[in-house]
Chain A
Amino acid sequence: MEIRDSLIRGSVMEQYIRQIGYIKLNGFPGGLCSDLAEITGASESLTVWNTRQDNGVMGETVCESGPGDELLIKVPFAGATLTIRLLFYLREPWMPPDMSFSDIQFLSRISTEDLEDQVPALNNWNCSEDDIIAQLLHQLLQLYKKYQLEKLDDDEVLQFEYRSLLKTLKIGEGDIEILVNSPGHNTSSLLVRLPLSLQDVPPVLIDANPGSATSLLQVTFQGNEGVFVPKLYLSPRVESLIGGANTLALPAVPPGTCLLDYVERVLELLEEKVRKAVLCFETRKQFIAQVLCQFGCAVMEYDAERFSKVVLMFEVKDFHFLTFITLGQLFPQQQAPKIVLQSLYHNSPREPYSKEYSDQKYSPQWTPEEMVRNVRDVILSNVSSFQMSSIRTN
């Protein structure tokens, strides 16, 4: 009997570990940031639970659980963190886990019908399915979202703003998370996934960062005067194109700012950045094309993906030398092409002798053809002094 018991318990444990592994690998849908959820096993063996008794009365139960029976899931939600505690009955694996939430009011406000309806995993707890815990978390998150939306009925202004965001941005309910008067604080917050599309961006600019191109704006309301504090989150794919979220200066929020107007402004700001990044890329491409057109017979190498660099070899009065032309991130508007001449004959002492020459006359208004002609002029006017210094250094 004992051996059979431990065998059964062993396989239950294996299944349980597989289920946790499933979530860690695949995550669980339902939240805008649920892929950032932190999942740990609680280490205390003595835990205090806020549980809902069968008679509907809220109470506290102290139970002893072995480490490993309990899962702690911290999910970012609308700018705050929702912690879900699940206590599993590994000796009675057909039983669904006990649940507890950091938002204490949540459990007390939802009805048994809601639970049965919206979280069917509880009634159909199939402990042999690998993704059953993931399903449970998904359903709980959805229920939590619904609960928050119902609380919106008590806040007309916020509800109006929520609805206008949906309508004006043309996004779905899955793109906004709202936390109405989060527990313990008197602040509401929302997290909206901005419809910023990277569809027309040349893939080479973002392919180094696979994954979703997500832009999230978090808004925290303080007090009742409609004052709010914004914060921007961008996925790596977006950041690689337009820069880190913390380098982008969000517009100020003077009192009386309408939320919808503000969100639209932020979206426009991001769209403009995307347009600029693509335009910079196109300009670099045109510049390199002009270089190839004027000096294609002297080309050594050029960056054929991002068009950020071209290296040529030139001869002036029997003196041969390399020319490196680099286009930085701020080209063309704020930065001229960088021109470096490099020696084929002399090291100084460990690397080939090289010198950078700046273009005093550069103007971003020039056509690529003019820019390239100007680069040629800079080279020609500096070759002899470069030649002299390279010999002297050796």
Chain B
Amino acid sequence: MFCDNPSSLILGMAAEERSSGGSSPSEALEVTEQFGSVTVERHVPRINCPEHIILVVDVCREDGNTSYKLADGSKFSSLYMVKRAITLFLQNKHAIDSRHKFALVVLHESPIWLHDFTNNPREIMSELDELEDAVATSRCDLSLLFDLIARQISLPQCSNPAVAPPPCVFRTIVFYGRSQCLPQFLGGKAVFTHLIQSPHFFLDVLYMHEAPSDENKCEGIFDLLCGLDESGWSYVLEVSRNATKLHNHCGSLLAHPLQRPTQKDVHYTLNGVD
């Protein structure tokens, strides 16, 4: 058992609790996490509102990049693997709630908004199918990426975000694939900071890299990507050519940002005995 007081876990579902008259306004704002050793404050009610998910796919192929090798000996490129994993992500997310919407951004020289928000996963899947990898560029400018995103979305304006359930939330999931190139904010962080401070904007990262070594910058890149998590609510995941782990991470990414535990607190193991 992870907690003693089950009903306290649903406090913060302001819309329902408040109007049934069963709780005072202060209870509705009671939003600190009950489980895990770290207390991080939530600033939005834990409602499963529709998500507008921006999938950012890095198609850069670096020199010396390695493939995924499966148990039966078959080999697949990194891009192929991430396409498969994202396909299952789309299908599962759609099965969880068909209101969720997806947009597709391709990351190469500069980011391109390939497909606008749709709740039909097949539209994104067919775009994904067409994607091909390309020779890696020497830079990755995160300012361009977040400028593009900021132009394409309009964040919900809630007068009292701690209590009012938002109509939707935006989540960007960056699938970054380079082991030699450090992503940087070449044009400044102002737009990024503006997005990140909104309680309705979330950023997750899935970093797919070569085995860390002295020949590459994987560790430095991973640290930098972890640094993008300023709120404590992001999921920053990494995998190195392990197909199962890649798919497992995409499973973790299915979790709704308003309802999921912090990354430190996830625990999926199902035991037989308490």
Contacts and interface: CB of A to CB of B under 8 A. Distances in A.
A202 B16 contact: yes
A344 B88 contact: yes
Contacts of B48: 301-304
Contacts of B87: 347
Contact of B88 (A289, A303, A347): A347
Most chain A beta-carbon neighbours within 10 Å: one of B10, B19, B266: B10
Nearest to A297: B267
A181 interface: no
B248 interface: yes
Interface in A5-21: none
A197 interface: no
A352 B2 contact: no
B88 A203 contact: no
B88 A304 contact: no
Interface string B251-262: 110111001110
Contacts of A304: 10, 13, 16, 45-48, 259
Contact of A351 (B36, B91, B267, B269): B91
Interface stretch (B92-100, B133-141, B192-200): B92-100
Contacts of A159: none
B254 A322 contact: yes
Given A305-B47, A380-B272, A344 B16 contact: no
A301 B97 contact: yes
Contacts of B268: 297-298, 313-315, 320
B119 to A, nearest CB: 15
A301 B96 contact: yes
Nearest to A287: B6
B6 A380 contact: no
A311 interface: yes
A306 to B, nearest CB: 9
Nearest to A289: B6
A348 to B, nearest CB: 11
B263 to A, nearest CB: 11
A103 B247 CA distance: 74
Contacts of B6: 286, 289-290, 292-293, 368
B21 to A, nearest CB: 9
Interface residues of A, number: 45
Nearest to A203: B19
B251 A204 contact: no
Interface in B90-123: 91-92, 95-97
A296 B12 CA distance: 15
A316 B270 contact: yes
B160 interface: no
B88 A296 contact: no
Given A342-B95, A344-B247, A296 B13 contact: no
Closest 4 CB pairs of A and B: A297-B267, A289-B6, A293-B6, A315-B268
A15 B15 CA distance: 45
A292 B10 contact: yes
Interface string A171-209: 000000000000000000000000000000011100000
A311 B94 CA distance: 12
B260 A300 contact: yes
Contacts of B45: 304
Most chain A beta-carbon neighbours within 10 Å: one of B6, B97, B259: B6
B9 interface: yes
A354 B254 CA distance: 16
A320 B35 contact: no
A296 B92 contact: no
21 contacts: A202-B16, A203-B16, A204-B16, A285-B10, A292-B10, A296-B34, A296-B261, A301-B48, A304-B47, A305-B47, A313-B255, A315-B268, A315-B269, A318-B244, A320-B248, A320-B268, A342-B92, A343-B88, A344-B251, A347-B88, A380-B270
Given A303-B48, A344-B88, A352-B95, A298 B1 contact: no
Given A204-B19, A297-B35, A354-B95, 19 more contacts: A202-B20, A288-B10, A289-B6, A293-B5, A295-B270, A297-B267, A298-B266, A299-B255, A299-B259, A300-B254, A301-B96, A301-B254, A301-B259, A304-B16, A315-B269, A342-B95, A344-B92, A345-B88, A376-B270
A380 B273 CA distance: 11
Contacts of A288: 10
Contacts of B47: 304-305
A99 to B, nearest CB: 47
A294 interface: yes
Most chain B beta-carbon neighbours within 10 Å: one of A301, A302, A305, A343: A301
Most chain A beta-carbon neighbours within 10 Å: one of B1, B19, B95, B265: B95
Nearest to A298: B268
Nearest to B100: A301
Contacts of A303: 48
